[in-house]
């Protein structure tokens, strides 16, 4: 089948090449249409066999799963607190349609029971909730006066969702525009509706847009036009005989086209408004929703295949073609003639491209049979203009029709990918209707959902840009075509109970299991008889039995060995679309201009000028002079293809006295750097503190040893958020917080260089026994204080993310002895858990508290609450593996530092080190990410530093670095495919700067900087070319690097070879 598919695509490609005028399928020759539809049917058939076991982690990390409802279908309170009737109220009260006389007057009473319902969403594990706003509840007269009770309700609902970590996805109109506007000018039949709908959207963006990022303008715009104005089966119920039988007014021949036209204009007007007024501040997304069945030929006859293409153009292309290409499909304009309004050049320009995403409501397949006789009618509606007949089963229907239909989701996503340039897509409705009062054991729905989600996964793996999936529906509400007789909900609502109690169905349990990470088939659902949902056991290694520690660490080591063999060829497109690749540097290491334009010394300046550490007398006074050469450096980033640049802000450049006065020159420099990056499409990722606190604060109160630093650091962060946060979305508070404390206050080998004997030998002051714990405690308090500030003052406006960075080697047992395995776990708890356990669980690991005793400060309940959960992401700096050997004797020392508290010894090689140790160490990024995934609930992660040092003046042909990078990125890809929530990777470093433990003698950069040249010229190394080739889409091995720019890199030149 795969070979057959490839052959079909090859034939399609050949035909395209021969037909230079073929731009879109609407103008393709009939044979091409036939081939494309045959191919999509073949692909759909293939998918059936591929839908087997899968888990939530098989989907991209930013993919969102949710469920949905609509206001009239679940809210109730139809006439409460200022709401006026919508056209749907009028429609059901007139007993129109197929709702069996049911109305939404009470419905599920979601209006009063939203808190209870959100709790059920939490129990299910929903990541997002899609709901609609009742226009007539918010603005009872359709325009003008805003109903404060309606405003309060939607604010409360949104806040309740966000408080529980559930994304609100909001639809503005779901078949329910105000009846008052229908009475006044005919609703969507009048262009006045464009103005009023835009004003309504403006209010929603203004009132809710600081918290809502995903907006859908109109639900099922195509069905709204057809059902509302052709057959009359949806509000406002307009039609004319013989096309609709229940209407008292309407014109099925012209009104659907007019209403559809005005909906497109209204949608695009709203998008234009959002981009002009809100996009830069709120950074949200606006899309349009379509009812999107898949269409398949009724038979294999060519006429039915061609008719199927017409059906797709009418149902989907009618709206999507103007949004993508600026005009209606040719077949619609031809067959509808003057009945369909013409888009003016201005309208076409306004509509084209006016989508951030497309929302699809997909349930099943329609089978299409050619019916050319329809075109001979004197009066035609849309169905007649299509010249088709629609069936629910094909000519040769099979018994496994449900499975075939689930594969149709794959086919429609493939179609949109190939015909409409693969737009971002959300499946906003998908579900199966069943008899309402049948049973809570809704096995057919479970099988349906399982099959459709599997088909969706296949489509995503095949390149579909689908971003989310919403099950219809969360509750059994009022259904358009079945009233309360048909149920789609995960939860049954007992309408005979005055409290309208909710009960989870089997599908709710299945979906919950899936969302919580279990790989299950429909027949494997586990339901606790006494509880609504399956409870999950979460063990941290800190509290796990010792044998579990042994098993976990052994398993992760085994996984690391397996990864070595799995790292083969890969390319940039193998990573998630929103994954970011970059490189980094830090202020003191590259900026130079140490005493220029108002900057004052940092503790790093003082440290190197005192010739402490391993700097060989080197300083950052000039460094790479990025302060003056930032434009040149950004151009080099562009040349490589960097997607992001991670840099730090020099606190003492921005606020020379550590607090108070802001240095305008410092402000200007960082604004210029950020703007230069953004101008070239490079994301700025900013670190607030990279070992360089103002020396003035160190002199005044001892820096991180004083809680005064928390206040001053928070004030400094406030300035940064205020001045740069409109353009910077990614903030890291502290670089290598654990190393600041250990190396700065225990061994004394980094600023401020404090230690005491025998733990550090070069310090004049300090206390290695207690100061690391005090500094670490204050670092955590400062970080959480900054996060609290950001969420209180900036998050709703800037929509950014704040995280903490830790130095994160992998720890592996020195030998296979049980003692070394246990010691390895202690190393994890002290190096990583010290900070990460506090951030996730609100306290230090038990072993850290036990061994450090009273020397480590205890968190107060208030501090614990402040710290717990105070991160949007965790950043890791990973370079290599430490090998850990048990050393219980250190616990008997009278005075202990942190290493002694760990009761271990650290080595750079294991007892039985293999000859290919570098390859093994690069693979250890995989178990590190696995460890964090399993122990700390898989937080979002950025690998913010990863690189390999080489001798600075050796050669530009840095092959060992290339091999290291390639191996690490490969193992990172393996970790992501295994479910790690890693969001980005930054090479350390962009250029050869001042390094901690080697000054200018050790180099990590992609670019060599000639320090003997007054211009400090930069030269790309081989690693720069390899990374550039990778970022630009080539899948290459280290020995396949092609250097094409002779003027940029030539290792044979004397200038290069001398350095």
| Residues forming the active site | 220, 429
Task: Report d(CA 360, CA 362) in Å as an integer.
Answer: 6
* Contact by Cβ (8 Å): 318, 46: no
Answer yes or no: are the C-beta atoms of 176 and 225 closer than 8 Å: no
Q: Does the bond joining 283 to the residue before it have cis omega, within 30 degrees of 0?
A: no
What is the C-alpha separation between 1005 and 278, in angstroms, rounded? 40
d(CA 997, CA 991): 16
Q: Residue 443 contacts by C-beta under 8 Å, 6 or more apart in sequence?
A: 506, 522
Please, which residues bridge with residue 493 across strands? 502
For residue 383, which of 288, 290, 318 has the smallest C-alpha distance?
318
Q: How far apart, in whole angstroms, are the C-alpha atoms of residue 419 and residue 329? A: 12
Q: Tell me the C-alpha distance between 234 and 91, whole Å.
A: 8
Residues 6+ apart with CB under 8 A from 482: 98, 99, 100, 433
Q: Is the four-CA dihedral 591, 594, 597, 599 of positive or negative sign?
A: positive
CA distance 804 to 277: 33
First to last CA, the chain: 56
Pairing mode, strands 434-435 and 486-487: antiparallel
Three-class secondary structure of residue 147 per DSSP? coil
Structure tokens at 748: 């004394």
Beta bridge partners of 701: none
Neighbours of 855 (CB within 10 A): 17
ω into 752 cis (within 30 of 0)? yes
Measured between alpha carbons, how far is 451 from 454 in angstroms, rounded to an integer?
A: 5
Residue 805, strand partner residues: 875
The whole-angstrom separation of Cα 853 and Cα 851 is: 6
Task: Work out the angle at residue 569's Cα, subtended by the Cα atoms of residues 568 and 575, and round it to the nearest 5 degrees.
Answer: 105
Output the six-digit token pair for 728: 């910077």
Residues in contact with 141: Cβ distance below 8 Å, sequence separation at least 6, in sequence order: 84, 178, 180
Q: List, in order, residues 6 or more apart from 49 with CB less than 8 Å away.
A: none
Dist CA 266 CA 993 (whole Å): 54
| Residue 564 contacts residue 920 (beta carbons within 8 Å) | yes
In this structure, the number of other CB atoms found within 10 A of the CB of residue 251 comes to: 19
- Please give the torsion angle defined by the CA atoms of residues 738, 739, 743 and 744, in that order, rounded to the nearest 10 degrees: -80
Q: Assign 114 to helix, strand or coil.
A: helix
Is residue 1011 exposed (0-12), middle (13-18) or buried (19+ Cβ within 10 Å)? middle
Q: CA 1012, 1013, 1016, 1019: dihedral to nearest 10 degrees?
A: -90
Question: How many degrees, rounded to 5, is the angle at CA 212 between CA 209 and CA 213?
Answer: 100
**Alpha-carbon gap, residue 873 to 864, rounded angstroms:** 18
Phi, psi at 77, each rounded to 5°: 45, 45
Sheet holding 810-813, edge to edge: 810-813, 881-886, 904-907
Q: Which residues contact 208 (CB under 8 A, 6 or more apart)?
A: 154, 155, 158, 168, 170
């Amino acid at each position: 089948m795969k070979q057959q598919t490839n052959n079909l695509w090859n034939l399609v490609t050949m035909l395209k090449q021969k037909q230079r005028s073929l731009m879109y399928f609407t103008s393709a020759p009939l044979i091409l249409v036939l081939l494309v539809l045959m191919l999509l049917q073949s692909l759909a058939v293939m998918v059936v066999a591929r839908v087997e076991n899968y888990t939530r982690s098989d989907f991209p990390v930013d993919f969102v799963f949710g469920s949905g409802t609509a206001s009239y279908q679940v809210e109730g309170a139809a006439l409460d607190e200022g709401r006026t009737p919508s056209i749907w109220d009028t429609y059901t009260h007139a007993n129109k349609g197929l709702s069996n006389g049911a109305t939404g007057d009470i419905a599920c009473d979601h209006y009063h029971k939203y808190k209870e319902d959100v709790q059920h969403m939490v129990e299910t594990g929903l990541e997002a909730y899609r709901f609609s706003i009742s226009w007539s509840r918010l603005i009872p007269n359709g325009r003008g006066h805003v109903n404060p009770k309606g405003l309060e309700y939607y604010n409360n609902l949104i806040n309740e969702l966000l408080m529980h970590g559930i994304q609100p996805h909001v639809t503005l109109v779901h078949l329910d525009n105000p009846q008052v506007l229908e009475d006044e000018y005919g609703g969507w039949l009048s262009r006045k509706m464009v103005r009023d709908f835009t004003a309504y959207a403006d209010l929603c963006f203004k009132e809710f847009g600081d918290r809502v990022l995903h907006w859908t303008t109109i639900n099922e715009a195509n069905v709204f036009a057809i059902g509302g104005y052709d057959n009359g089966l949806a509000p406002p119920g307009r039609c004319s005989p013989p096309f609709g039988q229940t209407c008292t007014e309407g014109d099925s021949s012209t009104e659907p086209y007019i209403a559809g036209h005005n909906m497109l204009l209204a949608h695009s007007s709203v998008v234009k408004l959002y981009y002009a007024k809100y996009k830069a501040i709120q950074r949200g997304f606006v899309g349009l929703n379509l009812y999107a069945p898949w269409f398949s030929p009724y038979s294999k006859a060519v006429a039915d295949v061609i008719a199927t293409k017409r059906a797709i153009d009418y149902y989907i292309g009618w709206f999507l073609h103007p949004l993508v290409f600026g005009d209606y499909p040719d077949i619609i304009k031809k067959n509808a003639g003057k009945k369909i309004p013409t888009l003016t050049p201005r309208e076409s320009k306004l509509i084209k491209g006016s989508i951030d995403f497309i929302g699809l409501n997909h349930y099943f397949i329609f089978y299409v049979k050619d019916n050319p006789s329809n075109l001979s009618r004197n009066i035609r509606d849309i169905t007649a203009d299509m010249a088709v007949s629609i069936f629910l089963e094909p000519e040769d229907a099979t018994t496994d029709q449900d499975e075939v239909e689930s594969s149709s989701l794959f086919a429609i996503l493939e179609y949109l990918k190939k015909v409409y340039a693969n737009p971002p897509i959300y499946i906003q409705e998908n579900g199966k209707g069943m008899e309402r009062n049948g049973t809570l054991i809704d096995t057919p729905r479970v099988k349906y959902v399982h099959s459709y989600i599997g088909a969706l996964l296949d489509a995503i793996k095949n390149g579909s840009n689908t971003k989310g999936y919403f099950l219809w529906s969360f509750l059994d509400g009022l259904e358009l075509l079945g009233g309360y007789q048909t149920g789609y909900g995960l939860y049954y609502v007992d309408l005979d109970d005055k409290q309208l109690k909710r009960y989870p169905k089997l599908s709710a349990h299945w979906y919950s299991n899936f969302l919580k990470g279990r790989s299950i088939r429909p027949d494997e659902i586990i339901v606790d008889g006494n509880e609504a949902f399956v409870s999950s056991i979460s063990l941290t290694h800190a509290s796990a039995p010792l044998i579990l520690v042994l098993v976990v660490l052994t398993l992760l080591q085994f996984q690391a060995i397996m990864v070595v063999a799995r790292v083969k060829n890969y390319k940039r497109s193998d990573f998630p679309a929103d994954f970011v690749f970059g490189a980094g540097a830090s202020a003191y290491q590259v900026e130079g201009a140490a005493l220029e334009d108002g900057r004052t010394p940092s503790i790093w300046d003082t440290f190197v000028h005192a010739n402490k550490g391993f700097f060989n007398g080197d300083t950052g006074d000039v460094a790479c002079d990025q302060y003056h050469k930032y434009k040149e450096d950004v151009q080099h980033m562009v040349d490589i293809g960097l997607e992001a640049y991670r840099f730090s802000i020099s606190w003492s450049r921005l606020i020379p006295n550590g607090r108070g006065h802001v240095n305008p020159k410092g402000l200007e420099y960082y604004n210029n750097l950020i703007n230069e990056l953004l101008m070239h499409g490079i994301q700025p990722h900013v670190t607030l503190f990279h070992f360089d606190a103002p020396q003035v604060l160190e002199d005044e109160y001892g820096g991180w040893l004083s809680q005064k630093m928390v206040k001053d650091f928070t004030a400094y962060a406030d300035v940064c958020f205020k001045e740069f946060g409109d353009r910077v979305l990614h903030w890291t508070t502290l670089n290598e917080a654990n190393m600041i404390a250990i190396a700065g206050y225990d061994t004394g080998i980094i600023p401020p260089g404090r230690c005491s004997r025998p733990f550090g030998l070069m310090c004049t002051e300090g206390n290695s026994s207690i100061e690391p714990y005090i500094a670490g405690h204050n670092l955590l308090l400062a970080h959480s204080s900054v996060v609290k500030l950001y969420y209180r003052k900036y998050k709703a406006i800037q929509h950014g993310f704040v995280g903490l960075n830790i130095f994160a080697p992998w720890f592996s047992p020195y030998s296979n002895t049980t003692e070394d395995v246990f010691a390895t776990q202690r190393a994890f708890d002290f190096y990583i858990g010290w900070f990460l356990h506090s951030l996730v669980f609100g306290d230090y690991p038990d072993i850290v508290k036990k061994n450090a005793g009273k020397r480590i400060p205890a968190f107060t309940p208030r501090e614990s609450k402040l710290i717990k959960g105070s991160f949007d992401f965790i950043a890791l700096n990973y370079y290599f593996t430490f090998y850990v050997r048990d050393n219980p004797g250190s616990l008997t020392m009278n005075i202990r530092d942190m290493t002694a508290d760990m009761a271990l010894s650290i080595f750079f090689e294991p007892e039985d080190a293999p000859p290919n140790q570098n390859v093994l160490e690069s693979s250890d990024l995989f178990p590190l990410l696995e460890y964090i995934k399993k122990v700390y609930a898989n937080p979002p992660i950025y690998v913010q530093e990863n690189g390999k040092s080489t001798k600075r003046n050796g050669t530009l042909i840095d092959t060992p670095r290339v091999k290291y990078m390639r191996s690490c990125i490969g193992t990172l890809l393996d970790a992501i495919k295994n479910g790690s929530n890693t969001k980005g990777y930054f090479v350390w470093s962009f250029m050869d700067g001042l390094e901690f433990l080697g000054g200018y003698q050790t180099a990590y950069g992609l670019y060599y900087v000639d320090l003997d040249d007054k211009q400090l010229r930069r030269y790309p190394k081989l690693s720069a070319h390899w990374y550039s080739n990778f970022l630009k889409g080539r899948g290459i091995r280290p020995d396949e690097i092609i250097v094409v720019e002779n003027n940029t890199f030539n290792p044979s030149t004397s200038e290069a070879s001398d350095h």
